[in-house]
Amino acid sequence: MHTLQHKHSKIKADEAEVLLKKFNISTLQLPKIRKDDPALPPDAKIGDLIKIERKTEIGKVIYYRVVIPD
């Protein structure tokens, strides 16, 4: 991983379920990330939820994406 690249990590199924319930959304409503994106962990599969941690001036900000086909 490049030093300027944000940390991407795969979320476990039970964590994903809690997250989706918390925000009352489905995976279809999340932003997408393509399977061929080089930032994805090697074990990411289509339909997985990815947690992206970005460090900003105000602290760490977390985003979520769902993996879609290439």
Q: Rounded CA gap, 52 and 39, in Å?
A: 10
Which among 14, 12, 52 is positioned nearest to 30, based on CA atoms? 52
Return the CATH architecture of domain 7-68: Alpha-Beta Complex (3.90)
Confidence check: pLDDT of 30 > 90: yes
Residue 10: partners with Cβ closer than 8 Å, 6 or more residues away: 41, 43, 44, 48, 49, 50, 51
Helices (H), the chain: 13-23
Q: What is the pLDDT of residue 48?
A: 96
What pLDDT was estimated at residue 70?
86
- In this prediction the pTM is 0.87
Average pLDDT score, the chain: 92
The residues spanned by each domain of the chain are: 7-68
> What angle is formed at CA 65 by the lines to CA 64 and CA 67, rounded to 5 degrees?
150
